[in-house]
Every structure is written in C-alpha cells, then in structure tokens.
Chain A
Amino acid sequence: MNPVYFLCQQTMLFSIPLLIVALGGMFSERSGVVNIALEGIMTIGAFASILFINTFQDRMSGQPLLILAILVAALAGIIFSLFHAYASIHMKADQTISGTALNMFAPAFAIFTARQIQGVQQINFNNTFRIQKVPVLGDIPILGEVLFQNAYITTYLGILVLIIASIVLNKTKFGLRLRACGEHPQAADSVGINVYKMRYAGVALSGILGGIGGLVFVIPTSTNFNASVAGYGFLALAVLIFGQWKPIRILYAALFFGLMKTIASAYSGIPFLTSLGIPSYLYKMIPYIATLIVLAFTSKKSQAPKAAGVPYDKGKR
C-alpha cells in the first residue's frame, strides 16, 4: 500500500481515541473539575468492554458486538468516573489526588480481576471489526482510501462525537450552563443553576467518552488487553491542553499527536523516515515536549476554565 495512505490510516487509529478522550476531559474541565483520572477511566472502559467481547465473541461478532462493547465501555467509564465526581464535588477532595488514586486503582483492578477470572492478565479477543471497504464511499479517490477503507466504525464515532460535542458546548442551554460552572460557579449558582449537578454531568460525560476511548484505542492496535492504555489518558490530557479546551483545536491537537505516535511506531517500515535517521523515541517524546512549549507560550493568556480544580462550596447540605 502507498505509505502515505498507510500513514494517514494509522494516524486516524491513533488520533481518534485521543480525540474522544480529550473531548471527554473537556466536558469535565469546562464544568470545573480537573480530570487527570482519564488514564484510569480509559483502562477501566477498555477492560470491561474487552472482557465483554472475550465472553461473547463465540456467540456474535462484527459490528453488533462492537456496538454492544462500546455501550459496555461507556457504562464502565461512567461508573468509574462517578468516584472522581463524588470525591471532587461532594467531598471537595483535592482533584489531583483523587485522579491519581483512580489511575492507580484501574490497572490493579484490571489485572486482579482478569487473573481471578481467567488465570492470566491478558484478555484476548478476535478482531472481527475491521470494515474492508465502505460501499460507494470507499470508492471516492484519496478520501475514500483514507477514511473508508480498512476502517472501523469507531473512527466515524469519533467524528460524530466531535460534531456533537462542539454543538452541545456552544449552542445549547446545557453547554452554556456547563461553561458558566467552570468559569464562575458563584455566578451560575446566583441564577439558580445547580453547580453540583452540572459538574456531575461534566465528569460523567468524561467517563462515558473516556471509557469508549479506552476501547477505541485497544481494538485496532492489538489483539489483547493487558491492563494498560500505555499512557494514552495522559496524552489525551496533553491534547486537551494543547487544544486549549476548545473542540476544533482539540481535533488538530489529536491529529498532530496521533501523527507523532504513528511515526514513532511505524517509522521503520517507511523508507523516507528511516532515511531521516531520527530515533523513534524522539517522536514519542514530541507530544509531551510540544505541550510544554505551548503551555510556556500561552500561559499568560491561557484559556483554561477559571474555576477548574477549585471545589465549589455550596454551603448548605
């Protein structure tokens, strides 16, 4: 296959989970709750849904199974994220500590449970989810080859999530209120908006999208789940910051970081890149270095939600 197409397809596979998870993180942070638990949420989402696939793959396969697995991932993610929400919102715990605890809990729980159930910690699955070619659309030159051949429905899901997320955030009552809670919760409260409820909603959305993102990350890149999403949750956090908490910019950031990941993992197969002689580790490091650089240049006028990370004290109850 043409290496450019290969690179584009691979980039999509790496970028889409980053996009979905970072958009999840966006909802949480714009409601005012810093969520470094994305890594743990992804792990739990991937764990639950891959376990589900592993259990039911004898009876079903292909897209129906994948769709059910996505629902399982979302459910697992939302349940897990609620622990973060409860600690951050009701208990006014330090949000970084709570997130760290959940990040430690997730892989330990995944390994423990997997071993308890099946003896080993890897959970295998058969990848029956790849779509060879979407009818009609797959025949479009260039675009068809990149987007509609050898693709997964998760790619389209990612794009759908992006569209919905930007509409919800900018065009709806829910989005307006959510943003108010992340910027000035006292103002939101003074006009009768339930800040706690909005923040729970924000964190729950990050749970849904984080959980799905975990599954979306594992499916195309592996045939088993080994209790880890390889730092993708933290990378998604970097995407969120790099994207300055805005949906479209998050898309660009996810594509950029996905490209770097792709190059790092696939460069030995691409003659042009090997001839450059840049070691793969550098590509692995670039997203993190780039995030630091962007932060250094934007910190003076950062778009970060003003009240993110600050527990809101409602007083009563």
Chain B
Amino acid sequence: MSGIGNSSKKSGWKNLGLISSIFAIIIGLLVGFLILLFSNPNQAIGGFKTILTGALTDGSKGIGMVLYYATPIICTGLSVGFAFKTGLFNIGATGQFTVGAFASVVVGITATKLGNIHWIVALFAAVIAGALWALIPGLLKAYANINEVIAGIMTNYIGMYLVNWIVKDTNALFNMLENRSKPVAPTANIPKALLDQIFKGSYVNAGIIIAVIAAIIIYIILNKTTFGYELKAVGFNRDASKYAGINEKKSIVWSMVISGALAGLGGGLFYLAGSGKYIEVVDELASAGFDGISVALLGLSHPIGILLSAIFIAYIKQGGFYLQLFEYSGEIIDIIIAVIIYFSAFSMIVRNFISNRERKRKVDHIGGSAQIPAPINEPSDYGSENEEEIREATQEEGGDK
C-alpha cells in the first residue's frame, strides 16, 4: 500500500502520474461507451456526448452544480489522499463522513441560539466527530497493529448503524413520516457567499471555498512543515521513523485523525448546504467516502490533483443526470468511475514501466555513470540479496570508491 503515496521530487514523475490518470480516465470512458453501445446502439453517441457535456447543458447553473457536488468529495478525496501520503489506506472515510454529517445535523437542528456562527459551530462539530471516529482505527493501527483497512470497514458499518440508531430513537432529530432526519435550522446552512449570484439556480455555496482552503492547508502541512515530514516518514517507513526518534505511534494516530477530520468536514459541508439533504435511515453506506478513494487515486493524492479529479468526477456525475433522456440509467457513471479506479490501480504499473524505460535510456546515454536503475520490476526472485547484488554491481560499474 505504500506505493500509492509515493511522490518524487523529480518533475518527470508528475507527468507520468498525469499520463497514467488520463490513461485510466480514457479507458473508463471507453468502457462506458462500449456498454452504452452494447445496450442500445442507436442512442450510444448521444448518450456518450451527454456524459461528457451534460453538465454544461444549463450553463452556469450546471457548473454551479458541479462545484456543489465536488465539495464533499474534495474533502473525502483529501481525506483518503492525505492518508495515502502518510502510508495509510483510509477506507473508513465513509464512516467518518457519516458520523461527521450526523454531528453537523445534530448541531444544526438543536443549537438554534447560536445565530451567525451556528453553521461554523455545526461544521466544527462535523470535523471533530470525523476525527474522533478515525481515532478508533488510528489507535488500533498504532497500538495493536491492526490493519486500518479492516478496522475502517468495521467502523464504517458501526458508524452507519450507530447514526441510524440515534437518529431514529431521538424525537428531536427524527422525521418519522419520511424516515429521515429533520431539516437543520436556516442559520446552520453554509452562506452562499454570492456564489448563488454567479451560478444562478444551483446549490453551490461557500462550502467549495472551504474545501479549497482545506486542500491548501493539507498541501502546506505535507510539504512545508516538520509535522508533514514526520507523518510522511512514518508512512514510508515506520521502523526508520522510530529509529529517528519520531513518535511513530502518535504520528499514525495523527494521520488518521486529520484524515478523519477531512472526511467529517465533507459530511458537514454536504448536509449543511441548504440543498434539502437529510440523513436517510437506511442500512446503506454513504457513497461519498468511496468516491473519495477514486478522487484520491485519480488525483495521485496531491491536493491540487484531488481538486481537479473531484471536479471531474462531479462533472461526469452531473452529466449522468441527463442520461435518462436517452433511456439510459445514470448508473453508467458509477460503472465508469469503478473502471477508472480499477485501472488507476494498474496505472502505477504503467508508471513504473514508463519510468523504468526512461531510466534505462538515461543509463545508456551516460554509459555507466552513477545513475542506477532501481529494479522496481526487475527480476527479484532471489529476494533482497539479489537486488542488492544488482545494485552493488552497478555501483562497481560506476567506479564507486
């Protein structure tokens, strides 16, 4: 799992990452097109066009809606991506999203006397709740060495059932007729910040700005601070970090907590958007968390990449709404996204493949300089000794000593 978060300072790698993401997107769209073609050949071209451009059908409203849909998945994408960068696979983002959403809704419904800061307090509650929910897999990982993927899956379900249970059993929260939570107070809705003027008729609000700010903060933490240096070091190599005097257990817990806070923020932003969203009491996991995995993978776990890929996914989802016109079900979009993730999982291989070739070429040019090909996909049957040997041999070629 450690491979996901790898980012090299070398500029070439970023381009390769971009290529592999685009490769995954193209294959995803191609598969989508083939399915359209297979199920209804006459409409396929029109349907496919709609996927690509449907979001623009209603002009600025469409764009506004794309930004609205992008907002929570930017957060869950940052959540998963941040965890990737620090060596963790936060599949539990879904549960943290749900718990965060719940906390914001509770504050949004009950704390009606807060006035102007009501929405801020509600969002804050979402962040805290998400962070606390991620604390469970974080502590289990750090102190009992339990795989965070397993713990994440378990806490997803526990969180979902817990939220449903409390919503259903609390009269103040539960709308029995609709089997969902009551609406939050108007003061708990996130301000529009004039965005409703620019994107008339859409649900977009200041949440998108908050999400972008979160991305910037995450970028700074990861790349500019000693805290980020520590978290990444622990993610790459827990033992070496311990050796270096970093409290590696604390770092793992912090990584999960920050990741959970981001997912919780996403939950808050989604349910406080004033768009008529309620917590439905059904035994189903929230999809925003899983979307976060695709966003993070496509965005190569880089905050800016995550912003772009979240907008892309929101964009084709928005296009999907218009597909009914062509007698297609909107689920085709989910199929496309699933295919994109599937190929993102490979594309790391594509990336390695390309970078191996690049290295090889470079070596040929310089001709036995100290540039050493790291045998990423080289034969390694003999395990590390042999890898070592290859490296050592190269070193000799380089005239080391």
Write the residues of chain A forming the contact surface with B, with a CB cutoff of 8 angstroms.
36, 83, 87, 91-94, 96-98, 100-105, 107-109, 111-113, 115-116, 121, 186, 189, 228, 230-231, 234, 237-238, 241, 279, 281-282, 284-285, 288-289, 291-292, 295-296, 299-300, 309, 313-316
Contacts and interface: CB of A to CB of B under 8 A. Distances in A.
13 contacts: A101-B341, A101-B342, A102-B338, A103-B290, A104-B294, A105-B334, A109-B335, A238-B153, A284-B161, A284-B283, A288-B158, A299-B144, A315-B379
Given A295-B140, A295-B150, 7 more contacts: A94-B348, A97-B4, A97-B344, A100-B91, A101-B342, A107-B334, A109-B335
| Most interface-central of B153, B297, B378 (chain A CB within 10 A) | B153
A288 B92 CA distance: 13
Contacts of B150: 237, 241, 291, 295
A101 B339 contact: yes
B345 interface: yes
Contacts of A112: 35, 39, 328-329, 331-332, 335
Contacts, number: 150
Contact of A234 (B153, B346, B348): B153
Contacts of A107: 331, 334
A285 B349 contact: no
B89 A96 contact: yes
Contacts of A234: 153, 157
From B40, B149, B348, name the one whose CB has the most chain A CB atoms within 10 angstroms.
B149
B304 interface: no
A101 B335 contact: no
B165 A281 contact: yes
Contact of B381 (A101, A186, A238, A300): A186
B329 A111 contact: yes
Contacts of A103: 290
Contacts of A186: 381, 383
A101 B338 contact: yes
B178 interface: no
B331 A111 contact: yes
A97 B341 contact: yes
B142 to A, nearest CB: 12
A313 B379 CA distance: 7
A9 to B, nearest CB: 23
Contacts of A300: 145
A282 B157 CA distance: 12
A228 B285 CA distance: 12
Interface in B294-340: 294, 297, 328-329, 331-335, 337-339
Contact of B379 (A98, A238, A295, A316): A316
A103, A228, A288 interface centre (most CB from chain B within 10 Å): A288
Given A189-B381, A237-B153, A299 B146 contact: yes
A279 B285 contact: no
Contacts of A94: 1, 3-4, 345, 348
Nearest to A115: B329
Contacts of A284: 157, 161, 283
B341 A104 contact: yes
A281 B169 CA distance: 10
Nearest to A84: B342
A104 B290 contact: yes
Given A91-B346, A281-B165, A97 B283 contact: no
B96 interface: no
B161 A108 contact: no
B149 A36 contact: yes
Contacts of A309: 1
A295 B161 contact: no
Given A104-B290, A108-B335, A284-B161, A296 B144 contact: yes
Nearest to A316: B379
Nearest to B382: A186
B381 A315 contact: yes
A314 B329 CA distance: 42
Given A87-B342, A98-B345, A288-B157, A315 B380 contact: yes
Nearest to B151: A292
B92 to A, nearest CB: 12
B86 interface: no
Interface in B128-152: 136, 140, 144-146, 149-151
B381 A83 contact: no
B337 A104 contact: yes
B154 interface: yes
A299 B91 contact: no
A93 B349 contact: yes
Contacts of B329: 111-112, 115-116, 121
A231 B285 contact: yes
Given A186-B381, A237-B153, A315-B379, A100 B335 contact: no
B285 A105 contact: no
A309 B1 CA distance: 9
Interface in B102-139: 136
B241 interface: no
Contacts of A92: 349
Contacts of B345: 87, 91, 93-94, 97-98, 101
A31 to B, nearest CB: 18
* 6 A-B pairs closest in CB distance: A315-B379, A108-B334, A281-B165, A105-B338, A93-B345, A101-B342
A300 B140 CA distance: 12
B258 interface: no
B342 A83 contact: yes
Contact of A100 (B146, B169, B290, B349): B290
Contacts of A299: 144-146
A307 to B, nearest CB: 12
B144 A104 contact: no
Given A101-B345, A234-B157, A281 B331 contact: no
Contacts of B154: 238, 288-289, 291-292
B283 A231 contact: yes
A36 B290 CA distance: 13
Please indicate which of the listed interface residues B285, B331, B333 has the most CB atoms of chain A within 10 Å of its own CB.
Answer: B331
A101 B284 CA distance: 17
Nearest to B168: A281
A113 B1 CA distance: 33
B99 interface: no
B3 A296 contact: no
Nearest to A228: B284
In this complex, the member of A91, A189, A241 whose beta carbon has the largest number of chain B beta carbons within 10 angstroms is A91
A116 B331 CA distance: 11
